[in-house]
Chain A
């Protein structure tokens, strides 16, 4: 067990955890930020996607000891009231079915748009690899284009 000071959603937080504890579980079980979801634990599904210095990473493979000075942003920190253009687009297109994987999908899409504000379908194919069993892919694609058209890069 060790003590870590990590930046999550622009707040410096103290966590007592084993060094190998994945950020997924630090967020969910230590910090009670349960918007980041567990799906597979092996970086396949993307339900646990968070931003690591602005890039989308799968937090199930990110040990707390590796975070150091990096900035972590979770779905709870993407915007205070769900006003990020990607969140708004998700709502406008009515993307969610069960909704479980969607925070990971939104974080993946928001990170992509930050680095590629006007993605083509091919860009989306290559950048978004999250799993959704409900099959919301068609609406996710629509929502990403909508967010891009409204300036999805503001954050």
Chain B
């Protein structure tokens, strides 16, 4: 980017390919990717920005778009520094090329957070070179020139030159080693309300997604996979399958335990798979949910070998006869990612080369895994990324791409592999179930003096965040973590760990507040004061007191916390810090005429640093709130002898319009800080906000998700 030197500057390529097409930003001589762009000179000082002599400005969005809005937000940042109007730029999804774009993984709410400054630099570099080119053309001082709306303007004379007219000249200039970024007070695009860049294509049903891929000679592949964790492929008989009209081939990939049916349509492939006779054999233990729960309970009888945090003397405090001890156990179930777009991938393996196109959050890792599985060098693999129908962490696993490549290799045809919903439910890397055992002590002075969380999770990750709130605020604090070994696939799911432990922590805090006869918000503010003035134990890492307080203050203000006089309306509060972002929600539930409850309104305050896209940011939080509500009310995965009991959406339930809040109010704490993550942090506080509202309404404490009261 901005550190390029003249000798590395080989970005200028002049082409007369007619007919336009996709333009790729490119700047390395070694770049072997095919270049298709409009006629005319291309100015492309880095991989992100291309400007042709017709003034067409193309911005590359480097990270997979899974609905989190980066394909809009990242180019907004580029356009801001480049000084071009948003509605005049073309945005393209960058192909996989980490040598140009750095990490192209989408996960951990990290794209805007990690790329904010580098992308500003990329845009500013192009803008500066335009100014230099114009100044040279006019024989003017650069200091007398400025850029605006894709023009360079000479202030003293009022002369102006369009970026397109400067492209050829700018392309010959050395790339400056450092450039001046805009003063944020001059931002015209960052912080405004910009709509999803693909809206028009989405609302008109254009082919945008991996599942929409159609290529010459392609067959549709539907795959038989083990019906339970612990079972493997033994043998199969495809006699009946091959009789199904449209079925062209049946291939097996024993290393992946799969048999694929290839046909001229999805329906034919599915019918072929339905009559495939497969023998599965038990090769490891067939696990069930009740066994997991029993093992959790057993594990939680003991401390873990090494606590995640251990301040003061937890045993002494919990055995102090003068203290009031409060105990509770919380439970969260396994969850499926259930992306609305079921997993799929296009693969064409031919002549030692692999062409891949499909949904993934980890394009680089997927390519590496495909190279290993297929046995070709990574340089022989191309990978394109469509817009993706959800991600939520499922596509951090590259299995869909690897399967598709192996099937294409075995069948020697280009294929599109699609998972039926039932395949998706049984073949997930689930949000692991957890159990949380709390023991806390309240002193005679009515203060929280001890907090012990002993937590267990089904493999794959941590059960809790040991440095999370209320760590630092409690004199005797201990966090233990147990992991239960399993052969069931688990993995990250929107806001990993936080999505479970926030429910337990924030409901237990509510319980303590009621025990102490304190307002739940007041208790949190009291604890934050302690963390600020007399912090206990390690203070680096974890949450920032002032920012945590900023969202509590804002949400209590906008929700009228504690003051609501609406009949049959009850409020619940919860807050959580994750992915460098602070979120606090107040959920309002209404008792309906039939005596049931509905979450009718949710207020949210978020501190995520500077907001890049006001509309996109609001929609991420609104969505996380509704997603959090949906799973808290309805969703769970349970296992019976290795098989998932919820096979499709009739039993793995989601919220529908009748259970959705009528209103969701999202406010951001004004901030000059660099942007932080936003795809995930709005979700964790939602389940506890509802649990606490239900307690306020009924006096009943629900400690297990999904909430029993909402059984549909």
Contacts and interface: CB of A to CB of B under 8 A. Distances in A.
Contacts of A81: 204
A35 B201 CA distance: 10
Interface of B: 66-69, 193, 195-196, 198-200, 202-209, 211-212, 214, 220, 245-246, 264-268, 271, 338-342, 387-392, 418, 420-421, 615-616, 619-620, 622-627, 629-630, 648-650, 654-658, 660-664
B342 A39 contact: yes
A98 B341 contact: yes
A150 interface: no
Nearest to A94: B195
B661 A138 contact: yes
A139 B619 contact: yes
B199 A137 contact: no
A82 B340 contact: no
A106 B629 CA distance: 23
A35 B193 CA distance: 27
5 contacts: A34-B214, A100-B339, A133-B392, A135-B629, A137-B655
Nearest to A88: B203
B243 to A, nearest CB: 13
Contacts of A129: 656-658
A121 B200 CA distance: 26
A29 B266 contact: yes
Contact of B626 (A38, A74, A96, A135): A135
Contacts of B663: 138
Contacts of B626: 135-138
Q: Which 9 A-B pairs have the closest CB atoms?
A: A35-B205, A98-B67, A100-B389, A135-B626, A75-B205, A137-B660, A135-B623, A44-B649, A99-B202
A13 interface: no
Which among B212, B389, B654 has the highest number of chain A CB atoms within 10 Å? B389
Contacts of B204: 35, 75-76, 79, 81-82, 87
A133 B657 contact: no
A17 B246 CA distance: 9
Contacts of B206: 35
B229 to A, nearest CB: 22
A30 B661 contact: no
Contacts of B622: 135-136, 138-139
A10 interface: no
B211 A34 contact: yes
B340 A96 contact: no
Interface string A95-116: 0111111110010000000000
Interface of A: 1, 17-18, 21-22, 25, 28-30, 32-42, 44-45, 47, 74-76, 79, 81-82, 87, 90-91, 94, 96-103, 106, 121, 124-141
A18 B245 contact: yes
Given A38-B266, A98-B387, 16 more contacts: A29-B220, A34-B211, A38-B211, A47-B340, A90-B199, A94-B193, A96-B198, A97-B196, A98-B389, A99-B196, A100-B341, A106-B203, A134-B390, A135-B629, A137-B661, A138-B660
Given A25-B267, A36-B205, A126-B658, A100 B195 contact: no
A39 B341 CA distance: 6
Contacts of B340: 37, 39, 45, 47, 98, 100-101, 131-134
A8 B207 CA distance: 18
Contact of B388 (A39, A98, A130): A98
A21 B627 contact: no
Q: In the complex, which of the residues B68, B206, B214, B340 has the most CB atoms of chain A within 10 Å of its own CB atom?
A: B340
Given A91-B200, A94-B199, A98-B340, A133 B267 contact: no
Contacts of A100: 67, 209, 339-341, 389-390
Contact of A82 (B198, B200, B418): B200
Nearest to B196: A96
B267 A21 contact: yes
A129 to B, nearest CB: 5
Contacts of B390: 98, 100, 133-134
A101 B615 CA distance: 19
Most A CB within 10 A of own CB, among B66, B67, B193, B387: B67
A22 B266 CA distance: 10
Contact of A32 (B196, B214, B421, B664): B214
Contacts of A76: 204-205
A133 B663 CA distance: 18
Nearest to A142: B663
A117 to B, nearest CB: 18
B386 to A, nearest CB: 11
A81 B208 CA distance: 16
Contacts of A39: 340-342, 421, 649
**Central interface residue in B69, B271, B619, by most chain A CB within 10 Å:** B619
A137 B660 CA distance: 7
B67 A99 contact: yes
A125 B245 contact: no
B664 A34 contact: no
A36 B266 CA distance: 14
Contact of A135 (B630, B658, B662): B630
A136 to B, nearest CB: 6
B623 A102 contact: no
A140 B624 CA distance: 15
Nearest to A35: B205
A141 B662 contact: yes
A134 B421 contact: no
A125 B598 CA distance: 12
B420 A41 contact: yes
A47 B392 CA distance: 18
Given A82-B203, A87-B204, A100-B390, A136 B623 contact: yes
Contacts of B195: 91, 94
B267 A29 contact: yes
Nearest to B662: A121
A45 to B, nearest CB: 6
Most buried by A among B205, B208, B388, B624: B205
Contacts of A42: 421, 648-650
B623 A134 contact: yes
A140 to B, nearest CB: 7
Nearest to A108: B657
A30 B265 CA distance: 8
A99 B627 contact: no
Contacts of A90: 199, 203
A124 B657 contact: yes
A68 B554 CA distance: 59
A81 B200 CA distance: 9
B660 A141 contact: yes
B656 A97 contact: no
A58 B339 CA distance: 19
Contacts of B68: 97
A134 B268 CA distance: 31
Given A91-B195, A94-B619, A140 B657 contact: yes
A72 to B, nearest CB: 14
Nearest to A44: B649
B648 A44 contact: yes
B67 A40 contact: no
Nearest to A74: B205
Contacts of A138: 622, 626, 660-664
